[in-house]
Amino acid sequence: MTTATVPPPVVLGAFDEGHAGLANQMRSEWTKLRSVRSTWVCLVVVFVAGIGLAALVTNIEAGRWGSLGLADRATFDPVRFSQTGTFLSQFVVGVLGALVITSEYATGSIRTTLSITSKRTTVLVAKLVVIGVVVFVVAEVTAFASFFTSQVILLAHGAKALPPGATILTQIRSTTIPYVSLADSAALRAVFLSGVYLLLLTLLACGIGFILRHTAGAIAAFVGVLLVLPLIVDVLPSSFASSFEKYLPSNLGLAMTLVTTRKTDFAGVLLPPWPATGLLAAYGAVLIVIAGLLLVRRDA
Amino acid sequence: MISARGLTKSYGATRAVDDLSFDVRPGVVTGFLGPNGSGKSTTMRMVMGLDLPDAGAVTLDGRRFHDLRWPLREVGALLEAKAIHPGRSAYNHLLAMAQTNSIPRTRVDEVLGVVGLDGVARRKAGKFSLGMSQRLGIASALLGDPGVLLFDEPINGLDPEGILWVRNLLKGLAGEGRTIFVSSHLMSEMALTATDLVVIGRGQLIADTTVDDFIASNTVATVLVRSPANDRLAAELRTHGAGVTSRDDGALLVTGIDAAAIGDTALAAGLPLHELSPVQASLEEVFMDLTSDMVDYHGQSPVQVGS
């Protein structure tokens, strides 16, 4: 150990050309993400919870069809059962999205990160892209795997697709469990947007993390938006609350993943799926722009 | 070359760095001295683009940090050894750093070898001792083979062997023509390692000079004299304009005239001399003298409680 004095001469290649850019930073962020265990724990939980809850809930609900009341039959959504895991996963990906940056502030390694890059916004963008791609892939795989798991169980319970042009009345009167396949564009959209919902929440949480720079604070804020905000809105006078509760992130998620062939159910209460997706993305974008402005201005 | 001009930085009402200007030249080790809380780390963070100065600027070979194209290849720094994700291995920590600046993986192995951590490269950095973390921090500073290197208190937590190693490493890097800027509150260490000195207290520049000049210009030449005829010799020396004080052990401390003149005076007066030795002040003493009124955090002697 003591014999080493001066590092050996190295040839690192010319650095008069080009500059450290987004591609470099993205490689680095991927190395950081894959080299801590919490990443893998979170992703495995998303996948296992997705399929496990889909199987569990679908099995329970399918077995009850014969004894369901009119209202329950009217709102029976064979796709939503398959995406039950999203309720848990949204918090898991939120933690993951926040940790990507808050763990660097907690350990102080943010000062290493920012002292080897001359453009701070590159760090923000690289982190968002890397965590976004990783969560999106896992979330979509989980969403479709959950859907197929659910489908197998429904078929085992004798589910049958409703005839074309089916209404709520058709569904209520059906003697067999209603069933949809991915050939149904509404079902396909709902399953796909279930993964998109987790992606957007991850980016939102990452933005909160950049702004608050504190793990516990960021996670509390994220959970507050998803869980506490709806409770607060709930106790407000209903005429007042109903005008904006459809804009709550949790309700946007519901709007995105609902199979709305029976659109009368939630007409007016929820936004249509694509506008809901756009609004949630806009929330994320606003937070990320604020995060970027603060990152450039604040001392590390 | 690091050049600071009028650097000023406040945190709330506290002015951490106040109109600080200095140059750090390549080819030698430059020590950055100051008591705890004097603004050394703040200054280093501003050099590395982490904190933005309220006024003034600091440049690395003429460019500000945020204008560097490949920052890690141009300036390397050890700022906080423990600022590492505890769950990540040393190898992956360095790899993630290297990738930001297109530095090949082979260089990661190379610097791990240089600092002697190749055997524990796959272990989680959270399990490292402070000394091992310091070595990892030094490895990360060396990673991009930069021409400018900053080390904030690099020998903290190192054993004597490690301290010697760091001392030789710094001198070796400077010998290759690099700019080496090392902060420390350990004056004795700087006396052994540094050639140049930047000294600050309460965020203000006290001296920007060499170690030798700093000692010479801030100490009064003192000669220690012993004689069986102390009183008569003291009186004789005073008539020649010297300042004389007596020490408890009977020795005289003489200022104002040099050892040769003291010897001549004693001979002329027919007085015997048993010792005649110039006293060299240590960097530590000079520093303590100079910054005693600028230390923000004084220790206190335990208060004696009467019974």
Nearest of B118, B152, B156, B133 to residue B84 by alpha carbon: B133
How far off is chain B from A45, nearest CA to CA, in Å?
19
The whole-angstrom distance between residue A185's C-alpha and the CA centroid of its chain comes to 21
Task: Identify the weakest region by mean pLDDT among A242-256, B82-96, B105-119.
Answer: A242-256
CB contact under 8 A, A37 and B111: no
Which of B65, B96, B172 lies at the smallest CB-CB distance from A28?
Answer: B96
- For the stretch A230-239, what's the b/e string if a residue is b when 16 or more beta carbons lie within 10 angstroms of its beta carbon? eeebeeeeee
CB contact under 8 A, A12 and B107: yes
B10 to chain A, any CB pair closer than 8 A? The answer is: no
Q: Which residues of A touch B74 (CB under 8 A)?
A: 15
- In the stretch 16-75 of chain B, residues with CB closer than 8 A to chain A read 45, 48-52, 65-74
How far off is chain A from B52, nearest CA to CA, in Å?
6
Q: Hey, what are B12's tokens? A: 């709330």
Q: Tell me the backbone φ, ψ of residue B159, rounded to 5 degrees.
A: -80, 170
In three-state secondary structure terms, B104 is coil
CB contact under 8 A, A111 and B80: yes
B111 to chain A, any CB pair closer than 8 A? The answer is: yes
State the pLDDT at residue B285: 73
Nearest CA in chain A to B10: A299
CA distance B218 to B196: 15
Return the residue in B102, B122, B129 with the most chain A beta carbons within 10 A, the one to mutate for interface testing.
Answer: B102
State the pLDDT at residue B294: 65
Q: How many CA atoms lie within 13 A of A110 on its CB side?
A: 23
B115 to chain A, any CB pair closer than 8 A? The answer is: yes
CA distance A64 to A154: 12
In three-state secondary structure terms, B225 is strand
State the pLDDT at residue A183: 86
Concatenated DSSP letters of B36-68: TTSSHHHHHHHHTTSS--SEEEEEETTB-GGG-
CB contact under 8 A, B115 and A4: yes
Interval A69-95: pLDDT, tens: 888 888 788 888 899 999 999 999 999
Categorize the per-residue pLDDT at A14 as very low, low, confident or very high, splitting at 50, 70 and 90: low
How far off is chain A from B214, nearest CA to CA, in Å?
28
Q: What average pLDDT does the segment A242-267 reach?
A: 77
Q: Please give the ipTM for the structure prediction.
A: 0.89
How far off is chain B from A196, nearest CA to CA, in Å?
28
Going from the C-alpha of A179 to that of each of A45, A176, A185, B272, the distances in angstroms are 27, 9, 13, 117
Residues of A in CB contact (< 8 Å) with B are 1-2, 4-8, 10, 12-13, 15-16, 18-20, 24-25, 27-29, 31-32, 35-38, 103-104, 107-109, 111-112, 114-119, 297, 299-300
State the pLDDT at residue A7: 54
CA distance A77 to A84: 11
Contact in structure between B182 and B31 (CB atoms under 8 Å): yes
Categorize the per-residue pLDDT at A261 as very low, low, confident or very high, splitting at 50, 70 and 90: very low
Contact in structure between B181 and B2 (CB atoms under 8 Å): yes
CA distance A137 to B145: 38
Who's near B198: CB < 8 A, 6+ residues apart? Answer: B22, B24, B30, B31, B32, B33, B205, B207, B208
CB contact under 8 A, A4 and B92: no
CA distance B117 to A4: 12
- In the stretch 117-146 of chain B, residues with CB closer than 8 A to chain A read 140, 142, 144-145
Over 80: is that where the pLDDT of B303 sits?
Answer: no
Q: Hey, what are B184's tokens? A: 């420390």
Question: Which has more confidence, A101 or A12?
Answer: A101
B279 to chain A, any CB pair closer than 8 A? The answer is: no
Q: How many CA atoms lie within 13 A of A109 on its CB side?
A: 26
Look-up of token digits 């995105």: A256
Which of B71, B96, B116 lies at the smallest CB-CB distance from A118?
Answer: B71
Concatenated DSSP letters of A191-202: HHHHHHHHHHHH
Q: Which residues of B touch A119 (CB under 8 A)?
A: 66
CB contact under 8 A, A24 and B165: no
Q: Which residues of B touch A116 (CB under 8 A)?
A: 71-72, 97, 100-101, 144
Contact in structure between A139 and A46 (CB atoms under 8 Å): yes
Provide the residue type at B207 as one letter. Answer: A
Question: Which has more confidence, B9 or B219?
Answer: B9
Task: Identify the weakest region by mean pLDDT among A37-41, B199-203, B253-257, B303-307.
Answer: B303-307
Which of B82, B99, B110 lies at the smallest CB-CB distance from A27?
Answer: B99
Interval B113-141: pLDDT, tens: 999 999 999 999 999 999 999 999 999 99
Going from the C-alpha of B179 to that of each of A158, B4, B112, B151, B154, the distances in angstroms are 78, 14, 22, 11, 16
Q: Hey, what are B17's tokens? A: 């760095």
Interval B167-225: pLDDT, tens: 999 999 999 999 999 998 777 788 889 999 999 988 999 899 998 888 777 777 788 99
DSSP state at residue A228: I
In three-state secondary structure terms, B204 is strand
State the pLDDT at residue B257: 85
Size of interface A-B (CB pairs under 8 A): 141
Q: What average pLDDT does the segment A203-231 reach?
A: 96
- In the stretch 190-249 of chain B, residues with CB closer than 8 A to chain A read none
Interval A172-211: pLDDT, tens: 888 888 888 888 888 999 999 999 999 999 999 999 999 9
Interval B231-266: pLDDT, tens: 899 998 999 888 888 888 888 888 888 888 899 999
CB contact under 8 A, A116 and B110: no
Which of A24, A107, A299 lies at the smallest CB-CB distance from B100?
Answer: A24
Residue B249 CB coordination number (10 Å) = 6
